[in-house]
Amino acid sequence: MKNWIDIAALTDIPKRGGRVVKTSQGCVAIFRTHDDRVFAIDDACPHQKGSLSEGLVHGSAVTCPLHSWVVDLETGLAQGADQGGVTTYEISVEGGRIRLDASRLKSRSAA
């Protein structure tokens, strides 16, 4: 069962930008692409835990600001020769509002 929580207006996140949402289970990075797709992943790069929400969004990927690792926003997997990944979260946009499925946050903490 999904547990949707309202986190922001779509316009709160600039195109090709990211923001961080702090939860009791950790920080989630929310990204908006140039064509208004929205993604949510863990905010810590799989390499050295750099804040992905501060990275550069290009296409459906983000480049970590610390060491330029590229993470696919759809899968959460590092691209190219890099290995590792981050957790992805389901997002919906309705009426200009971004909603995050918080049920995945709960299941992550139970693992």
Query: Tens digit of pLDDT per residue, the chain (111 long)?
Result: 788 999 999 999 999 999 999 987 789 999 999 999 999 999 999 999 999 999 999 999 999 999 999 999 999 999 999 999 999 999 999 999 999 998 877 544 433
CB atoms within 10 A of CB 56: 14
Residue 29 carries which side chain, given as an amino acid letter?
A: A
CA pair distance 35, 22, nearest whole angstrom: 25
Q: Which residues pair with 98 in a beta bridge?
A: 8, 93
Q: What is the pLDDT of residue 111?
A: 36
Could you tell me the pTM of the whole model?
A: 0.89
Q: Is residue 111 part of a domain?
A: no
Q: Is residue 100 part of a domain?
A: yes
List the CATH number of the domain containing 21. Answer: 2.102.10.10
Q: Is residue 24 part of a domain?
A: yes
HSE, CB side, 13 Å, CA atoms: give it for residue 107: 10
Q: How many domains does the chain have?
A: 1
